[in-house]
Amino acid sequence: MKTKEILVVGAGIAGCAVALALAKRGIDVTILTSPFDQRFYHAPFIRHESLEEKVCDLQRERQEHLSCSRAHEQLAMLARQSIDELLEPNYLVDRNGNIDIHRCLQDQLKQHPQVEWISHHSVIELLTLDQHSLKKADRYKKPACIGVIAYNHETQRIEYYLAKETILATGGAPSLFPYSTHPSSACGGGIAIAYRAGARLLNMDQIQFHPLGLFEKERPCFPLPLGLLTEGGKILTSKISPVEVDLSSPSFLLHQLYDQLLKTRSEHLWLDLTLLDHLALKEQFPTVDTYCLNHGFNIVKDPLPIVPVAAYTCGGIAIDKAAQTTLLRLRAIGEVACTGLFWNFKEESLSVLESLTWALACAEDIAKQANKFIYYFPDLREGSSHLGASSSIVEEDWKFLRQTMWSYVGIHHDRAHLDRGCALLDQLSLLNTPHDLPSCSIEQIQLYYAIQTAQLIAHSVRAHGTFINCSARSSSFFQRGATDNMRLIAT
């Protein structure tokens, strides 16, 4: 058993941002993160001017697209400060005008003496007072998280980490769908882990889809700008048959492309840019040009394979302005969390700004608490130190899970499809629910959590069906229990 001050789980933009904000306040922080396949990770590049513009807009704008007024106020107030504090010292803009935010944060963290890295560890459960304390009276205390149980991929052993505060930054769930902008590991495991421990979830139905993802087999699909179509790009079902599409809204386009895929039973469609002015195209879309060239596509010579893709999880673990969840000593940040903000495609840099802003607010709050709060650590009920052997069925079940999400829960979700989707997921969940976690392999545990998150999404979409404004819901922000709000947002 190891005891840490502050444990951050996950080393994406959100995890790195909060760890850096804590370290800058003189707080010892441990980042624990699972193995991450860098080959398949294309960090979001944020346009330099789009971040700057967004901060100015936030200060002017009323909350037209953004739903929770308190969350919007916080974003408008702290966004500039969070950029100054977390990015400015290491702000590198590439020749296309982009900032690699993840690298910028990581580089600062690597040099920081107060940051400890524990990589190749996957959290499989949260330690809570009511579930894991040996003292029976602890179950009558307020529900609290006291650390994590993690699987060490190198030693293949289970390890226990106690912490004053645990911060989940494990990312979203777009890769529950077969086509997503994210790495295949982004299946919302952290959401299911927190839910299992009793944390409240919010807006689980709100999955953002993007109509144009660059299709690459078994890899994340890079999101292509819709401007490629408005500039005259053509959609083809095969390399020779053009399809007329209505560009009046991204949502229309999304449904049309999805329908075309179903109709033609093809793996992907094509986007033909070859008839556009080559020089103008390269000049207007330099990031797309560079990305495509690096991945073997020449945008001015060949049509690009495209599919609609899941791009962002707007819902997740409900948090307040200091990233506090409904479980004491558990915070959440980034795509795993739901602040009550949501947006459409025009607001493209907001999720990153949201992570930076909440990282700052969370670190401030922890710094204040650390001086006035004595953290309680009980003796723990410990279990097995090993996991079970893996099973070959897991791969098939993953495929089935993603296909079910795509066909029954994804872009078209009428009642009949959702009923069928929920039933199939419930069945899959029954078949994969372990008697106890240590009897399973790490792959089975990850599948189990992915199925749980998929069920939460599917049941949430089915239960509500129509969008409920988040601001109307903000008074009940801290109720424990079911998940709310639904709709798929076409970005």
Ligand X SMILES: Cc1cc2nc3c(=O)[nH]c(=O)nc-3n(C[C@H](O)[C@H](O)[C@H](O)COP(=O)(O)OP(=O)(O)OC[C@H]3O[C@@H](n4cnc5c(N)ncnc54)[C@H](O)[C@@H]3O)c2cc1C
333 or 418: CB nearest ligand X: 333
| HSE value, Cβ hemisphere, 13 Å, CA-based, for 455 | 20
Regarding 18 and contact with ligand X (CB under 6 A), the answer is no
Contact mark string toward ligand X, 65..94, x via CB under 6 A? ------------------------------
Give the nearest distance from C-beta 475 to ligand X in angstroms: 27
Interatomic CA distance for residues 122 and 183, integer angstroms: 16
Strand arrangement of the beta sheet that strand 337-338 belongs to: 201-202, 316-318, 337-338
Regarding 329 and contact with ligand X (CB under 6 A), the answer is no
Angle of helix 415-432 relative to helix 393-404, nearest 10 degrees, comes to: 160
**Exactly one of 51, 79, 118, 186 binds ligand X (CB under 6 A); which one?**
186
Specify the stretch interacting with ligand X by CB under 6 A; choose among 30-38, 201-209, 235-243, 411-419: 30-38
**Exactly one of 24, 25, 28, 36 binds ligand X (CB under 6 A); which one?**
36
Specify the stretch interacting with ligand X by CB under 6 A; choose among 29-37, 70-78, 235-243, 480-488: 29-37
Interatomic CA distance for residues 156 and 145, integer angstroms: 24
For ligand X, how many residues bind (rule: CB under 6 A)? Answer: 35
**Exactly one of 158, 350, 450, 461 binds ligand X (CB under 6 A); which one?**
350
150 or 409: CB nearest ligand X: 150
Interatomic CA distance for residues 175 and 189, integer angstroms: 11
Q: What residues have CB less than 8 Å from 436, skipping those under 6 apart?
A: 383
Task: Identify the helix (H) or strand (E) that includes residue 86.
Answer: helix 69-86
Specify the stretch interacting with ligand X by CB under 6 A; choose among 132-140, 179-187, 377-385, 429-437: 179-187
237 or 284: CB nearest ligand X: 284
Interatomic CA distance for residues 73 and 75, integer angstroms: 5
Cβ pair 203, 186 in contact under 8 A? no
188 or 421: CB nearest ligand X: 188
| HSE value, Cβ hemisphere, 13 Å, CA-based, for 310 | 28
Regarding 125 and contact with ligand X (CB under 6 A), the answer is no
Regarding 315 and contact with ligand X (CB under 6 A), the answer is no
Give the nearest distance from C-beta 149 to ligand X in angstroms: 10
What share of residues in the chain are helix, strand, coil (percent, to 5)? 45, 20, 35
**Exactly one of 98, 133, 166, 181 binds ligand X (CB under 6 A); which one?**
181
Looking at residues 149 to 178 of the shown chain, list those that interact with ligand X (rule: CB under 6 A). Answer: 169-172
Residue 275 burial (C-beta neighbours within 10 Å; 0-12, 13-18, 19+): exposed
Give the nearest distance from C-beta 442 to ligand X in angstroms: 10
Give the nearest distance from C-beta 125 to ligand X in angstroms: 10
Interatomic CA distance for residues 69 and 258, integer angstroms: 34
Regarding 22 and contact with ligand X (CB under 6 A), the answer is no
Regarding 349 and contact with ligand X (CB under 6 A), the answer is yes
Regarding 473 and contact with ligand X (CB under 6 A), the answer is no
208 or 483: CB nearest ligand X: 208
Cβ pair 411, 255 in contact under 8 A? yes
267, 269, 273: which is closest to 302 by C-alpha? 273
**Exactly one of 143, 178, 189, 198 binds ligand X (CB under 6 A); which one?**
189
Cβ pair 381, 133 in contact under 8 A? yes
Regarding 286 and contact with ligand X (CB under 6 A), the answer is no
Buried b (16+ CB within 10 A) or exposed e, 216-251: beeebbbbbbbebbeeebbbbbeeeeebebeeeebb
Specify the stretch interacting with ligand X by CB under 6 A; choose among 106-114, 185-193, 195-203, 254-262: 185-193
2 or 139: CB nearest ligand X: 2
Looking at residues 205 to 264 of the shown chain, list those that interact with ligand X (rule: CB under 6 A). Answer: 222-223
Interatomic CA distance for residues 27 and 419, integer angstroms: 48
- What are the residues binding ligand X (CB under 6 A)? 9-15, 33-34, 36, 42, 44, 46, 122-123, 169-172, 181-182, 186, 189-190, 222-223, 312, 334-336, 348-352
